[in-house]
Amino acid sequence: MSKILYYTDSALADKIKEEWSHYVDRSQEFPKDGVGMFYLDTFKNSIWNNVVLEIYLKHFSPGLLFQFQQLAKENPLKLQSIIKRAIKEFLQKYEGSTYDNAEYEGRLRWVLL
């Protein structure tokens, strides 16, 4: 029997950021500079062009997907809050405080696919 790990909100946001940081879009013949740039570019594009951000569930580990499913059933608003936190912290890590204001926060919209 496999062991199920449950994360705190902060740890779950960190886990999400970690997986985004290591994701490389292997469908491209020449992936962008370094790992994590797929999601960095996607987030920046979403904010600058005021479009809904698409976050692909298939890019996450099975353990993280299980956590998403549990939170989606039990407390969907909490899941949204955790994802928003992960996005903001991910952008802050790579872009500093550039996106850390109300104008950009209002443009931060996403859908899980």
> Collapsing DSSP states into helix, strand and coil, what is residue 111?
strand
What pLDDT is recorded for position 5? 63
The region of weakest confidence among 4-8, 28-32, 74-78 is 28-32
What is the token pair recorded at 87? 């996005």
Average pLDDT, whole number, for the chain? 77
Q: Which phi-psi region, left, alpha or beta, contains residue 89 (left: φ > 0; alpha: ψ -120 to 50)?
A: alpha
Domain boundaries in the chain?
9-24+33-112
What pLDDT is recorded for position 3? 59
80-86 long-range contacts, CB within 8 A, separation 24+: 81/9, 82/9, 82/12, 82/13, 82/16, 83/13, 83/16, 83/55, 83/110, 83/112, 84/108, 85/9, 85/13, 86/12, 86/13, 86/14, 86/16, 86/17, 86/20
What pLDDT is recorded for position 30? 46
Question: Residue 97 pLDDT > 70, yes or no?
Answer: no
Question: In angstroms, rounded to a whole number, what is the distance separating the alpha carbons of residues 38 and 110?
Answer: 15
Rounded to two decimals, the pTM is: 0.77
Contact status, residue 23 vs residue 36, Cβ threshold 8 Å: yes
Question: Residue 44 pLDDT > 50, yes or no?
Answer: yes
